[in-house]
Every structure is written in structure tokens, then in C-alpha cells.
């Protein structure tokens, strides 16, 4: 699982997320922001105009007649309608843009995540459960989607609404605004206490979901092993623990969340009553009213319009009634924000996991020696070319601006190499190997002796702590990793086939391969006959890692993939371990042709497959304890002899 890390900074994560969003769609981001503001203003129009209609139309109409206020009413209604129309158009426009921005943003985020993942070192996937990584692409991205498309726009709109609303309240009456402030204080106190607990458990819920998905993914991949060893009940028990943890965190999170809404709603109800009482007292008793417009009493304005030029302002019945509506809207706004807090916290936790992936240190590659096509003239001079010639060379630039070309031959040598997956745990000690072009080097030894580790170092999946590895005389640290790996074909013990046709899977070794080259590679691997007997031959669709094929057939396709790559160096890591003896004989015959003229590293438990090797390295706990060809090692009657004669077992 992921290593424990410090609690994330929500403000920093939100700021980074908004910057990421802004840089993706800068113009639309600003337009959406403007649209939200206009929509917020439209939502307040009714509250603001209500006071004008009550005081300047209804009460004034009672005093002077309807005809005298008809023009005022039409003006107010036209103004209100215009504001609503602008708000509706702004809402439609920003919602459409928001849909485009959200999907485009998620598309870009997933693209960046996948590109980043492809640049990460193998060690990252060793440290992190694959299901946990998948959860980042699914649950965490979906949480961010909800934040961008729903929660964030809603919160921004509500905050603008609350800000403008409170400004209007201060404009009308400071007394009533103070009452609202007290309610806000209680709302914030409750939100901090209850919402904080909810947020804590929502973060735990997000992590619990990732743990469950990682476990399920692991069980799906190992379902055959589970059934073979009758491990179903233990697997269910282990899952029950994870599921119970998820259930507990989800229950606590939602319990807090469901508690917060009713509390704030009832605070709003109390506020409504308090505003009504204070408003009635001020209006009926003509008490002095403070507002941002001035100071005055209600004695001469309760049923009359405020005289022009009068700086004193009283609390009118229209303002009091409007305040009731605004207080209700004010409380509902905070309730809406509180309902969004949990999704915001979950999204920020998800965004933090996403940024954690994006911030991972990429696989370092300081190599500058590249692999190029070349021609070799009669004098042995190497001439670089853009065409595929079947000849390759290392293009080596030097500090003085000169270039040298070294023919790719497949000469690989280890000099006193020490390596450990962790700096304090060395697993290879003083390993020296000399593989000349065209030689077949075999590694034998018990599991954990370091055989596969050596081949991983040739590919530079990991970098050594000490010593040197040279490829055609060039330190492999100077060779670009992509070019290094292009020159090496590999057949692993664990076969990976991808969703696609048989032809696509073989072509994986050479993307521009022709159909004829694919057929030839299949023949070399002795896979041609069984492939042609499949329902659709080479066009048969493979899914689920080629689950419809036998283990041996899957391995043959993997060998064909390596054959089509036509690399000068080959690594066969238990390549025939899953193939029966008869099939192994056929594959070995094809592999002999494939290996001709190439440098080959072979890892095998069946010692019969390595007898014809030029050199056999016997490893024990990361050290080479014997080396030589089959005949020499048999004559020495050491560990290899005992393994070969059955005195020792490889395991």
C-alpha cells in the first residue's frame, strides 16, 4: 500500500486545483466566474425589489391611488424581469461552459496522470498496490468531477449571494443585520464542530474505498489460487475487515453530515422568528433605525414614502417583510454550503492523491547515447541512415562536439556490481559477467539467488549502487533508457497479453511490423499452427490477459512478440517454464534459430535447457559461486554438479 504521509494541506490543494483548472481553460474559467456572479445577483432581485414594491407601490397606492404608482410598478417589474432574464441567460451559458470545462479538465487530468504513470520507475509499482492506483483514476477523479461540476460552482454562487445579501441587510438596517450576525456565529461554530468530524471521516472513507478496491483487484487476479487452496473463507474474512472499516467510516461521515443540515436549518428558523420580532418592535414603536443610508424614526414613514433629500431613514414595513425573506435565504445559503463541505473535503482528499501521483519522481534518464540505423561500408565505416537496414549503431556525442559510432553487437559486461532494492539491503555482491556477442549465458540457482535481478539491471529497471555495466564498451548509464530497451528482447515467466487481436499482441514487439513479419515471428516461436486453428486465426480477439488460451499458448505468443522485435540481446526469464515437454522441444528448436548470432541471457530451473550455454553462472544469495560451461562445471563436481545430478534441489 501507499506509505503513510503527512496530512494534506486543504488550502494548498484547493489552490493548486483551481490553478490547474484555470490553466486548462483560462478564458472560460473567467466567463464562468462572471456567469456565477450574475446568477447570484438574479437570485437576490426578488428580495431587493420586494421592499420597493411594498413601500413605493402598495402602501403608496393606498394613500394616493393606483394610477399614481402605475408607472413605478411597471418600472420595477421591467427592471426585475430584465435582471431575471440576464440571470437566466447567464446561468444557461455558464452551465453549458461548465459542462465543457469539467469534462475537458478531467480529460486533461486523466491524460496527465497516465503520461506520468508511464514515466514512473518500476519501483513505484512495487511499492503501491495496483488496485490503490486504480482507485486514483476512478474514485478520486470522480470526486474531483463532482467538486468542479457541482460543489465548487454552488459554493461560489452561495458565497456571492451571502456577501451581497449581507450588504443589502446593512444598507437597510444595522439592528437586524446584527441579529443575523449572531446567527452566523452559531452556524460557523456548529459547522466547525460537526463539519470537522464529518470531513475527517469522509477522508478516511476515501482511503477505505481505495483499500477495498486494491484487495478486490488482488483477489480477482488470484482467484484460481484462492480456489485451489480453498482460501475462500479466509478471503471473505479479510475482506470483511476492510469492508467493516469502510462501513464504519462511511457511517460516521454521513451521520455527522446528516446532523449538520437540520441543525443549521433550525438555526435559520430561530433567526426568522428573531428578525420578525425585532422588525415588528422597530416598525410599530417607531424605534430609531440605523442603516448605511442614515438614521431616522418610523413615525412619519410607516405609511408614506420617504421624502426626497431626507437623509434620515426609517425601518418601513416593506423593509421588515423583505428582511424576513432575506434572513430565510441567508440561512438556506449557509445550509447549502454546509451540505457541500463534505463533497469538497472528499474531492480535496482525492485531488491530493492525484497530485501525489503527479508529483512522483519520474524515472531518471541522463543518457545521451542513442541507437540509430546504419550502413557499414567495405572499409568498416559506420554511416547513419534513416532507413531500416538491419544494422544498428550507438551514436555517441562527446563534449568537444564530435560524434562516434559504435556498432551494436551485444557485448554486455558487469564489473564488480553491487545492488540492493533498498540501500541498506544489498542483494547482489561483486557480480562480474562477460557476455560476448552471440554467446548464451545461463543463470541457475535457488529462488531469491538474484537471477532475475541481474536481468533487471541490464534493462536498467533499477540502477546499481556500485560497479559498472558496459554495453559494447559503453557505460549503460550513458545510454538513453528507451534506446537501451529497444535493443533488448525479453520473455518473462509471467506472460502479459493485452486486450486486442493475436496479431496486435505480437505486433507489440514492433509496431510497424507487416503481417508477413508477424506470421514469420509466429513460425519462429512455433506458434503459427495453433494460432491458425483459433476461431478467427490471427484476428482472434484476446481479453482478460488471454484467458481463453492455455498457459503454454500465451507463452508462445509472448515468444513471438520477442521474435518480431529482432533485438540483438535477448533475456529469457523462465520462458519455457509454463510449457509442456513436447511444446518445449518445439519452442526450443525455434528459439535456437532466434538466438543464433544474438547475446542471450537465460534463467531456467530445468537444467536441461541450459546445457548448451557458453557459460553457466551459479548464484547463491546474490553471489556468483561457480562459472563455466556445462562440461567444466560437471567436472568440478561443485554445486552445479549436485544440482544436475539431483543431490541438491533448486528450491
Which range of 14-28, 244-258, 474-488, 567-581 scores highest in mean pLDDT? It is: 474-488
Q: Are 290 and 176 in contact (CB under 8 A)?
A: no
- Please give the CATH number for the structural domain made up of 412-645: 3.40.50.300
Task: Give 42's pLDDT tier (boundaries 50, 70, 90).
Answer: confident
Where is average pLDDT lowest: 56-70, 284-298, 593-607? 284-298
Q: Is the pLDDT of residue 305 over 80?
A: no
Taking the C-alpha atoms of residue 311 and residue 635, their distance in angstroms, rounded to an integer, is 116
Q: Are 619 and 449 in contact (CB under 8 A)?
A: yes
Integer CA distances (angstroms), 489 to 386, 435, 509, 520, 567, in order: 22, 16, 8, 17, 5
Q: Is the pLDDT of residue 280 over 90?
A: no
Q: Does domain 99-358 have CATH number 3.90.550.10?
A: no
Instruction: Give the cell for residue 247.
Output: 462501513
Percent of the chain with pLDDT over 70: 84
Instruction: Give the cell for residue 237.
Output: 474474512
Question: Which residue has better confidence, 302 or 291?
Answer: 291
DSSP 417: E
Instruction: Give the cell for residue 10.
Output: 486543504
Task: Give 468's pLDDT tier (boundaries 50, 70, 90).
Answer: very high
Question: Which residue has better confidence, 295 or 592?
Answer: 592
Q: Is the pLDDT of residue 43 over 90?
A: no
pLDDT one-digit tens code per residue, 323-355: 777 777 777 777 777 777 777 877 888 888 899
Q: Are 10 and 348 in contact (CB under 8 A)?
A: yes
pTM summary value: 0.70
Taking the C-alpha atoms of residue 218 and residue 209, their distance in angstroms, rounded to an integer, is 14
- Given the C-alpha cell 432581485, which residue does it identify? 45
Task: Give 292's pLDDT tier (boundaries 50, 70, 90).
Answer: low
Instruction: Name the percent of the chain in helix, strand, coil, to the closest 5.
Output: 60, 15, 25
Domain boundaries, the chain: 99-358, 371-407, 412-645
pLDDT one-digit tens code per residue, 46-100: 777 776 777 677 766 666 776 777 787 788 788 888 888 888 898 888 888 888 8
Question: Which residue has better confidence, 340 or 393?
Answer: 393
pLDDT one-digit tens code per residue, 205-242: 878 887 887 788 777 777 766 765 677 787 888 888 88
Taking the C-alpha atoms of residue 487 and residue 371, their distance in angstroms, rounded to an integer, is 8
- Given the C-alpha cell 432575506, which residue does it identify? 326
Following DSSP, what letter does each residue of 64-97 receive, concatenated? H-HHHHHHHHHHHHHHHHHHHHHHHHHHHHHHHH
User: What is the mean predicted confidence (pLDDT) over 190-211?
Assistant: 73
Q: Is the pLDDT of residue 642 over 70?
A: yes
Q: Are 106 and 141 in contact (CB under 8 A)?
A: yes
Instruction: Give the cell for residue 91.
Output: 446561468
Amino acid at each position: 500500500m501507499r506509505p503513510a504521509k503527512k496530512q494534506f494541506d486543504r488550502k494548498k490543494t484547493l489552490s493548486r486545483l483551481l490553478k490547474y483548472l484555470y490553466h486548462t481553460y483560462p478564458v472560460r474559467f473567467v466567463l464562468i466566474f462572471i456567469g456565477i456572479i450574475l446568477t447570484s445577483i438574479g437570485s437576490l432581485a426578488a428580495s431587493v425589489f420586494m421592499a420597493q414594491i411594498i413601500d413605493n407601490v402598495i402602501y403608496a397606492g393606498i394613500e394616493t391611488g393606483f394610477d399614481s404608482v402605475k408607472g413605478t410598478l411597471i418600472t420595477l417589474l421591467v427592471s426585475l424581469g430584465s435582471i431575471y432574464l440576464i440571470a437566466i441567460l447567464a446561468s444557461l451559458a455558464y452551465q453549458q461552459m461548465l459542462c465543457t470545462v469539467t469534462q475537458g479538465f478531467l480529460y486533461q487530468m486523466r491524460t496527465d496522470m497516465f503520461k506520468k504513470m508511464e514515466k514512473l520507475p518500476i519501483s513505484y509499482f512495487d511499492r503501491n498496490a495496483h488496485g490503490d492506483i486504480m482507485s486514483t483514476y476512478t474514485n478520486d477523479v470522480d470526486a474531483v468531477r463532482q467538486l468542479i461540476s457541482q460543489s465548487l460552482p454552488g459554493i461560489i454562487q452561495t458565497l456571492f449571494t451571502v456577501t451581497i445579501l449581507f450588504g443589502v441587510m446593512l444598507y437597510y438596517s444595522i439592528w437586524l443585520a446584527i441579529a443575523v450576525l449572531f446567527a452566523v456565529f452559531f452556524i460557523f461554530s456548529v459547522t466547525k464542530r460537526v463539519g470537522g468530524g464529518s470531513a475527517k471521516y469522509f477522508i478516511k472513507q476515501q482511503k477505505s474505498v481505495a483499500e477495498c478496491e486494491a484487495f478486490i483487484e488482488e483477489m480477482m487476479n488470484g482467484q484460481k489460487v484462492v480456489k485451489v487452496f480453498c482460501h475462500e473463507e479466509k478471503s471473505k474474512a479479510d475482506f470483511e475487515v476492510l469492508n467493516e472499516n469502510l462501513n464504519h467510516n462511511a457511517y460516521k461521515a454521513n451521520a455527522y453530515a446528516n446532523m449538520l443540515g437540520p441543525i443549521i436549518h433550525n438555526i435559520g428558523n430561530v433567526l426568522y422568528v428573531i428578525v420578525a420580532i425585532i422588525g415588528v418592535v422597530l416598525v410599530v414603536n417607531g424605534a430609531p433605525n440605523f442603516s448605511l443610508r442614515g438614521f431616522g424614526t418610523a413615525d412619519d414613514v410607516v405609511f408614506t414614502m420617504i421624502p426626497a433629500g431626507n437623509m434620515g431613514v426609517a425601518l418601513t414595513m416593506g423593509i421588515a417583510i423583505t428582511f424576513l425573506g432575506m434572513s430565510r435565504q441567508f440561512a438556506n445559503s449557509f445550509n447549502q454550503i454546509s451540505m457541500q463541505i463534505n463533497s469538497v473535503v472528499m474531492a480535496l482528499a482525492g485531488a491530493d492523491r492525484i497530485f501525489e501521483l503527479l508529483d512522483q519522481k519520474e524515472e531518471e534518464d541522463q543518457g545521451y547515447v542513442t541507437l540509430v540505423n546504419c550502413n557499414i561500408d567495405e572499409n568498416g565505416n559506420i554511416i547513419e541512415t534513416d532507413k531500416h537496414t538491419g544494422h544498428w549503431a550507438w551514436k555517441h556525442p562527446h563534449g568537444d562536439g564530435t560524434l562516434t559510432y559504435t556498432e551494436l553487437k551485444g557485448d554486455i559486461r558487469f564489473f564488480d556490481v553491487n545492488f540492493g532494492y533498498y540501500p541498506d539491503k544489498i542483494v547482489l555482491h561483486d557480480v562480474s559477467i562477460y557476455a560476448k556477442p552471440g554467446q548464451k549465458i545461463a543463470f541457475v540457482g535457488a529462488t531469491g539467488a538474484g537471477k532475475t535481478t541481474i536481468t533487471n539491471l541490464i534493462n536498467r529497471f533499477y540502477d546499481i549502487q556500485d560497479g559498472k555495466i558496459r554495453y559494447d564498451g559503453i557505460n549503460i548509464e550513458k545510454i538513453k533508457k528507451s534506446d537501451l530497451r529497444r535493443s533488448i528482447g525479453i520473455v518473462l515467466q509471467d506472460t502479459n497479453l493485452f486486450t486486442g487481436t493475436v496479431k496486435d499482441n505480437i505486433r507489440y514487439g514492433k509496431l510497424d511490423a507487416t503481417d508477413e513479419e508477424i506470421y514469420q515471428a509466429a513460425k519462429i516461436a512455433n506458434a503459427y499452427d495453433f494460432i491458425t486453428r483459433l476461431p478467427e486465426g490471427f484476428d482472434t480477439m484476446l481479453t482478460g490477459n488471454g484467458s481463453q488460451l492455455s498457459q503454454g499458448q500465451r507463452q508462445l505468443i509472448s515468444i513471438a512478440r520477442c521474435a518480431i522485435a529482432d533485438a540483438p540481446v535477448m533475456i529469457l526469464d523462465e520462458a519455457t517454464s509454463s510449457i509442456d515437454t513436447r511444446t518445449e522441444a518445439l519452442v526450443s528448436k525455434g528459439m535456437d534459430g532466434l538466438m543464433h548470432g544474438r547475446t542471450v541471457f537465460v534463467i531456467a530451473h530445468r537444467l536441461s535447457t541450459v546445457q548448451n550455454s557458453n557459460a553457466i553462472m551459479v548464484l547463491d544469495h546474490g553471489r556468483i559461486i561457480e562459472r563455466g560451461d556445462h562440461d567444466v562445471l560437471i567436472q568440478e563436481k561443485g554445486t552445479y554438479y549436485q544440482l544436475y545430478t539431483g543431490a541438491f534441489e533448486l528450491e
